[in-house]
Amino acid sequence: MRIIIGSESFYPNISGVAVATWNLATYLVGQGHEVLVLAPSTNRKSYLENFEEGFSVQRLPSIPNPFRKGFRVTMHPVQQINSIVESWQPQVIHLQDPTSIGSCLMKSAQKGGIPIVITHHFTLEYILSYFRFLKPLYKRSQAHLTGKMKDFYNACQYVICPSETVKRWLLGVGVQVPVVVISNGVNLHQFFSYEFPSGIRSDLGLPELPIILYVGRIDVDKSLDTLLDAVPLVLENHKAHFAFCGGGNLLGRLRRKTEQQGLNPYVSFLGQLDHQDHDLPRLYQIATCFVIPSCCEAQSIVTMEAMASGLPIIAAAAGALPELVQNGDNGYLFAPENIEDLAAKINLILENGELAHRMGQRSLEKVIKHDLNRNLNKIEKIYGEVTRHETA
């Protein structure tokens, strides 16, 4: 089968959408399909990249995203995408978002009678978090975006989403085509590994203390001030070290805030690690617990990576995170943006090593259903269904 995947976020970006798109393309090629990914270029030029995994990426002319450092956006390349679709003749088009590339592919697919599948990766709260100036018009903006998205999705044959939370919302706003929950998944083998912790700590420059870990983008939607503000409250009771792994718009500000509050000895900013970097599973291995304070997660790949590494999870009781974390089972949920509650939950983990171990074991048990290949196979079956329907 010939498949085109369209995404405004792709490698070398580090984001949930970029990782999910990479995993999907890699899996499909491994199953014998031909895959072309359409994604923004690193400049205003168009060029083709061939990856050793076996898929190709057509980079489309783009400009810097004014709201997300390091990300780029295409400028509605209708003619170029029409030409690509006409020459490539895909049997199915899979969109990862409804923005510039997605809307152009939608028009081409409708013109050529090609079935369209879309994966919904985000929440509207995530989008609006980057447009704080719209806060006075939040309800109106939300209604406008919801209406546009609903119409777009209803023109597809299938909508895939990563969690039941998101599915309920999609159905509630009027999406009428089939909506199916398929986890973004995680490579269980990649994150279940072991080596001597002392060597890892030395390599990563981390002390011989309990490590409270965050991995992900350091951006406005991740509520990382909540975690940083909880550090002094934890240090009042325990010796611990906080590690932030990732890059983003707020990295410089959080570094300055850490220095201003005298927290440099207790906080490390490790920079960005590629999702395939061999140091990433090593970092999870030496952590005592994983914290995800974001209030607008549609699922959270990094949380599943931490679960696959056998960690207890402390997560905001918001978005789809309660589907991954059950309070008191494989970790704790805390009241969103509540610094005291977050610190208290971290302290509970640090006070009881046996409890932390038991919760980590439960994370391993719960993450099994999110096995990457198992979930990507479900997407492959949807391709077969929509292509059979088109030829019937």
Tokens, residue 132:
């704080």
When mean pLDDT is compared across 192-206, 249-263, 366-380, the lowest value belongs to 192-206
Q: Looking at the structure, do residues 170 and 279 belong to the same domain, yes or no?
A: no
For residue 391, pLDDT over 70 is answered with no
Distance of CA 120 to CAs 140, 147, 158, 314, 333, Å?
A: 21, 15, 11, 25, 25
- Gap between the Cα atoms of 212 and 224, Å rounded: 13
Residues 181 and 192 in one domain: no
Residues 145 and 238 in one domain: no
pLDDT at 197: 80
Residue 117 and residue 81 share a domain: yes
pLDDT > 90? residue 232: yes
252 and 155 assigned to the same domain: no
pLDDT(54) > 90 = yes
Q: How many domains does the chain have?
A: 2
Tell me the pairing of strands 158-161 and 179-181. parallel
pLDDT category, 195, cuts 50, 70, 90?
Answer: confident
The pLDDT value recorded for residue 126 is: 60
d(CA 175, CA 141): 18
pLDDT in tens, 172-190: 999 999 999 999 999 999 9
Find the mean pLDDT for residues 314-329. 97
- Amino acid symbol at 333: L
Dig out the tokens for 109 from the structure.
């697919």
Q: Note the pLDDT of residue 14.
A: 80
Task: Identify the pLDDT of residue 293.
Answer: 98
Residues 6+ apart with CB under 8 A from 172: none
Under the banding of pLDDT at 50, 70 and 90, the label for residue 147 is confident
Residue 344 has pLDDT above 80, yes or no: yes
pLDDT of residue 129: 58
Do residues 215 and 164 both lie within one domain?
A: no
pLDDT digits (tens, 9 = 90+) for 94-142: 999 999 999 999 999 999 999 999 999 987 666 555 555 555 655 676 7
pLDDT in tens, 248-293: 889 999 999 999 999 999 999 999 988 888 899 999 999 999 999 9
Residues 93 and 19 in one domain: yes
**DSSP-derived secondary structure for 227-288:** HHHHHHHHHTT---EEEEE---TTHHHHHHHHHHTT-GGGEEEEE---TT-THHHHHHHH-S
Average pLDDT, the chain: 92
Give the up-direction half-sphere exposure of residue 293: CA atoms within 13 A in the CB hemisphere.
Answer: 27
- 324 and 309 housed in the same domain: yes
Residue 127: its pLDDT value, please? 57
Q: Which residue do the tokens 């992900």 mark?
A: 216
Which secondary structure element, helix H or strand E, spans residue 39, and what is its range?
strand 34-40
Instruction: Work out whether strand 56-60 and strand 72-74 pair parallel, antiparallel, or are unpaired.
Output: unpaired
What 8-state DSSP symbol labels residue 301?
A: H
Based on the fold, state whether residues 201 and 243 are members of the same structural domain. yes
| CA-CA-CA-CA torsion sign (258, 262, 263, 268) | positive
Q: Which domain holds residue 33?
A: 2-185+371-391
Name all contacts of 126-134 with Cβ < 8 Å and 24+ positions apart.
Answer: 126/221, 126/296, 126/298, 129/220, 129/221, 129/296, 130/67, 130/68, 130/220, 130/221, 131/67, 132/220
227 pLDDT higher than 70: yes
Q: What is the CATH number of the domain that holds 255?
A: 3.40.50.2000
What pTM, to 2 d.p., does this model score?
Answer: 0.92
For the segment 16-31, what is each residue's pLDDT rounded down to a tens digit?
A: 899 999 999 999 999 9
Task: Kindly report the number of other CB atoms within 10 A of residue 237's CB atom.
Answer: 13
Give kind and range of the element (H or E) at residue 105: helix 100-112
Residues 148 and 250 grouped into a single domain = no
pLDDT score of 134: 54
Q: Are residue 163 and residue 304 in the same domain, yes or no?
A: no
Is the pLDDT at 152 greater than 60? The verdict is: yes
Residues 223 and 176 in one domain: no
Task: Say what the pLDDT of residue 124 is.
Answer: 62
Name the nearest CA neighbour of 220 among 346, 305, 135. 135
Q: What is the pLDDT of residue 68?
A: 73
Phi, psi of 58 (to 5 degrees): -90, 110
